[in-house]
Amino acid sequence: MRGLPPDGRVLLICHVNPDGDALGSMLGFGLGLRRLGVRRMQATFPGPPEVPEPFRGLPGLDLLVPAAEAYPDPDLVICFDAASESRLGDLVDRLETAGAALVLDHHASNTCFGRINLVDPHAAATSVVAEGLLARLGVPLDAGIAECLYVALSTDTGSFRFEATTPAVHQLAARLLATGIRPGDISRRIFDTRPFGAVRLFGEVLGRARLEPAGAAGHGLVWTYATQDDLARHDQRPYVLEALIDSVRCTAEADVSCVVKQTPTGDWAVSMRSKGAVDVSRVAVALGGGGHRFAAGFTGSGTVDEVVDRIRAELDGALTGPGRL
Ligand code: AMP
Ligand code: MN
Ligand code: MN
């Protein structure tokens, strides 16, 4: 990249608890930089260095290092799919120690914490922004880059079902598929494969879902929760809980859906979705998190009931407060 010393060290960072867009846009861009001749490069994310099982086949995983081994003072740091510095966890200090910081993202709430910020709130995924920059740098798409970017794009668009699925998204998908990647295999691995223990765990957790038709100021709220003990009883890793929200949010009687997931520290990571009546990013931001209008999250402490009470209160406030709606 222009301005990078010939032997410059590049550190790629994506957000904590990485999803398909975080890992896919980071590794796809990293493979692109490699094609440009960047040799000293690492990719990482904060927290335990565990890649969720569905992403263990991604090309470019050889770039990954545990956060503890990441360059302490890279020449360039590039952040992916992180709306704010808090999403970088302990790696946030690299914004100070790096020679330059570039932010690639698509959250409307992005705080533009880099020196250069490529943030497109209309982009369906960070991978759209990443592909745009690779094209400007003259990097041709190959199957490795394309698979990473396709995983990112299909994850954040819910397999091309969400509102952000514009003609441009399908055109990008077509360019990615033209490299020869196999969408059937990729989708099966990413969306349609889970251990039997997770199937049983889902049965239990969905069985305790609660529908509150009067919730969210009458638009309806459905929610459930999963504990560390649930995971342990079914011998499952935390990543399996990420797919739960997709089973809960299909509830016809509720506009808003929530899954409250206990973390190893005892806090609760909350996923929220809306079908359109409610801007859940406002609720998430009010409770210390962030996200998009129809998909957002935050981390809360206390009991499940306390966390859900806070969500109920913010949801009612978000819909009835001054200047809202
Ligand atoms: P998830 O429910 O984890 O799939 O996240 C949905 C959206 O909310 C994503 O765009 C995330 O970036 C955002 N999000 C989730 N958790 C947090 C958090 N603790 N802080 C800020 N944003 C979050
Ligand atoms: Mn993400
Ligand atoms: Mn994203």
Residue whose CA is at the smallest distance from ligand 1 atom 12? 291
The residue to mutate among 111, 248, 260, 298, having the most atoms of ligand 1 within 8 angstroms of its beta carbon, is 298
Q: What is the pLDDT of residue 325?
A: 39
- Per-residue pLDDT reduced to its tens digit, 229-262: 999 999 999 999 999 999 999 999 999 999 999 9
Residue whose CA is at the smallest distance from ligand 1 atom 19? 298
The residue to mutate among 16, 19, 259, having the most atoms of ligand 1 within 8 angstroms of its beta carbon, is 19
Q: 108 C-alpha to center of ligand 2: Å?
A: 13
Q: What is the pLDDT of residue 323?
A: 41
- Per-residue pLDDT reduced to its tens digit, 93-104: 999 999 999 999
Question: Which residues have C-beta within 8 Å of that of residue 306, sequence separation ≥ 6?
Answer: 300
The label of the residue with tokens 């989708």 reads 187
Q: What is the pLDDT of residue 135?
A: 98
Q: What is the pLDDT of residue 324?
A: 40
The label of the residue with tokens 């222009």 reads 2
Q: Which token pair is 258?
A: 């929530």
- Per-residue pLDDT reduced to its tens digit, 86-145: 999 999 999 999 999 999 999 999 999 999 999 999 999 999 999 999 999 999 999 999
Q: 73 C-alpha to center of ligand 3: Å?
A: 26
Q: How far apart are CA 27 and CA 93, in angstroms?
A: 21
Residue whose CA is at the smallest distance from ligand 1 atom 8? 296
Residues within 5 Å of ion ligand 2 by Cβ?
19, 21-22, 81
Asked if 210 contacts 223 with a C-beta cutoff of 8 angstroms, the reply is yes
Q: Which token pair is 298?
A: 């935050």
| 302: pLDDT strictly greater than 70 | yes
Q: 90 C-alpha to center of ligand 3: Å?
A: 20
Q: 206 C-alpha to center of ligand 2: Å?
A: 24
82 Cα nearest atom in ligand 1 = 12
The residue to mutate among 84, 247, 273, 292, having the most atoms of ligand 1 within 8 angstroms of its beta carbon, is 292
Give the residues surrounding ligand 1 with Cβ less than 6 Å away.
19, 83, 271, 289-292, 295-299
The residue to mutate among 17, 25, 87, 223, having the most atoms of ligand 1 within 8 angstroms of its beta carbon, is 87
Q: What is the pLDDT of residue 6?
A: 77
Cα distances (angstroms) measured from residue 114 to each of 71, 135, 190, 322: 18, 21, 31, 33
Cα distances (angstroms) measured from residue 131 to each of 37, 57, 141, 265, 292: 17, 20, 9, 36, 21
Q: What is the pLDDT of residue 317?
A: 83
- Any idea of the CA torsion for 68, 14, 280, 240, to the nearest 10 degrees? -70
Phi and psi for 57 in degrees, rounded to 5? Answer: -100, 5
Q: What is the pLDDT of residue 174?
A: 98
Q: What is the pLDDT of residue 319?
A: 63
Residues within 5 Å of ion ligand 3 by Cβ?
21, 81, 126, 156
Q: What is the pLDDT of residue 4?
A: 81
Q: 5 C-alpha to center of ligand 2: Å?
A: 30
Q: What is the mean pLDDT of residues 278-283?
A: 96
Q: How far apart are CA 267 and CA 265, in angstroms?
A: 6
Q: Which token pair is 176?
A: 């990615």
- Position 5 confidence tier, pLDDT thresholds 50, 70, 90: confident
- Per-residue pLDDT reduced to its tens digit, 184-232: 999 999 999 999 999 999 999 999 999 999 999 999 999 999 999 999 9
- Per-residue pLDDT reduced to its tens digit, 133-179: 999 999 999 999 999 999 999 999 999 999 999 999 999 999 999 99
